[in-house]
Amino acid sequence: MEHLVIKGKQKIRGAVSINGAKNAAVAVIPASLLTESRVKIENLPKITDIFWLIEILKALGAKVSVEEGGDLWIDSAGVHSFKPPPELVNKFRASYYFMGALLGRCGQVEIPMPGGCNLGPRPIDQHIKGFTAMGARVELEQGLVKIKAEKLRGAHIYLDVISVGATINIMLAAARAEGKTIIENAAKEPEIVDVANLLNAMGAQVIGTGTDIIKIRGVSELGGAEHNVIPDRIETGTFMIAAAATGGDLLIEDVIPKHLDPVIAKLRETGVPLAIGPDWIKVLPRNALYPADVKTFPYPGFPTDLQAPMMVLLTQVPGVSLVSENVFEGRFRHVDELKKMGARIKLEGRTAIIEGGSQLISAPIKATDLRGGAALVIAGMLAEGETTIEGIEHIDRGYEHLEERLNLLGAKIERRIMTKDVFPGK
Ligand code: EPZ
């Protein structure tokens, strides 16, 4: 098992370029199953979630080739199975997109409940509600979700909860269904727009993404397409917060600043000076910081995926800040780890009360989810002494070479193989 060792009190300085968005990439890859023609996907991040998706595609019978620069060609003409291998599906959340994609392609799918970060209960009832409304039968048998439709028909679906996954999954199933599907109370995340752009390039008729009403007119066949994944707004935000927290000076390139509006607004409110260009954001050296009240909400609210990194920044701000998590019930597992580093954080229901302004100190800590893990890396960069983080496979699921890129910017992070004496008792 690997772990990270971080020598703290280093500032982040220089320039970094942002990769393609994980949460768009993990949906556009399964979307390629909706055509028998070849699909090219560019600007994919090199992260484990993507490697697993490729393995699943191959197991289903698709041919996948990766070009030298990392672009992917997917040829799913030979797909012969509607059963993604459980051992791969269990590893990550986004495998749930094989439900909509295989239902659209094969009319059926058998898949275990998806794995992924433990953020409290993560039901898929809204996905199921959508598939059922479109005429599919859904059964749960021996841990497998079995979904089958003689004929998928367009339907009018009102989501009870704003869900990124359900919105995309219904869009995938609806692309080749008979007739028109309307999703009301749809999620509006930029990643959803990106998936619709690929589908439309393949010949689908999807309109309204980015608003809360999406309309999909099903077509009988989809063709090949080439698609360039949008920049990762969460990776962008993570670097912005790392630079702001360490008091650094960082140019973040190849981004869509508009997708960061809620983050830009909150960082400015906190006193972080930012310059914004057409496809770049610069975090400038900061002076005084001010406490903030952060509330996570579906897009365009402050992203839940940046809640943990933002909390680390707020530990550096004198005064009391509040962070309310309104998207996931159990997304505060990083708090105990931050407390081990001396952070003064009290949890009251879904709100964290942060008494900031104290020096973090190094400690052996554990990443228990992807974004919480990234937050701990930032905390390690702020701490006095040497911080050791285990559980870094969570971080590798969503950030390409995070520590190498931070090291180029002035961090001092080493990846080592874990030995017993680092984490006594293991
Ligand atoms: C996606 O998860 C992202 N994952 C998450 O990113 C992100 O945090 C989340 O959207 C919110 O933005 C991927 O894109 C692969 P939801 P998802 O369905 O689709 C409830 C990261 O770190 N809900 O929008 O699972 C649910 O419990 C990851 O990159 C239902 O009740 O999120 C939650 O409270 C973590 N029933 C809320 O809705 C359902 O059927 C939002 O979940 C579906 C969801």
- Average confidence (pLDDT) over 305-314: 98
Whether the predicted pLDDT of 418 surpasses 80: no
Percent share of the chain, pLDDT over 70: 96
**The pLDDT value given to residue 426:** 47
User: Is the Cβ atom of 299 under 6 angstroms away from ligand 1?
Assistant: no
Q: Judge whether 97 and 164 are in contact, CB under 8 Å.
A: no
> What band does 421 get if pLDDT is binned at 50, 70 and 90?
low
Nearest CA to ligand 1 atom 31: 123
Q: Which of 22, 162, 164 most suits a substitution to test ligand 1, by most atoms within 8 Å of the C-beta?
A: 164
Instruction: Choose between 228 and 116: higher pLDDT.
Output: 228
Q: Is 125 in the pocket of ligand 1 (CB under 6 A)?
A: yes
Q: Is 80 exceeded by the pLDDT of residue 6?
A: yes
pLDDT digits (tens, 9 = 90+) for 173-218: 999 999 999 999 999 999 999 999 999 999 999 999 999 999 999 9
Ligand 1 atom nearest residue 299's Cα: 12
Nearest-CA residue for atom 34 of ligand 1: 328
Smallest CA separation from ligand 1 atom 26, residue: 122
Question: Does residue 331 line the site of ligand 1, with CB under 6 A?
Answer: no
Q: Please report the pLDDT score of residue 123 as a whole number.
A: 86
The verdict on the CB of residue 127 being under 6 Å from ligand 1 is: yes
Tell me the pLDDT of the chain averaged across its residues.
95
**120 has pLDDT over 80:** no
Residues 6+ apart with CB under 8 A from 174: 104, 134, 152, 154, 181, 183, 216, 218
- Condensed to tens digits (0 to 9), the pLDDT of residues 77-114 reads 999 999 999 999 988 889 999 999 999 999 999 999 87
pLDDT at 117 over 70: no
User: pLDDT category, 119, cuts 50, 70, 90?
Assistant: low
Cα separation, 127 vs 142, whole angstroms: 19
Above 70 in pLDDT, residue 414? yes
Note the pLDDT of residue 188.
Answer: 98
Positions annotated as catalytic residues are: 117
Each residue's pLDDT tens digit, 131-140:
999 999 999 8
Q: What is the pLDDT of residue 70?
A: 86
Q: From the CB of 126, is ligand 1 less than 6 Å away?
A: yes
pTM of the model: 0.96
For the chain, list the domains and their CATH numbers: 2-19+231-417 (3.65.10.10), 22-217 (3.65.10.10)
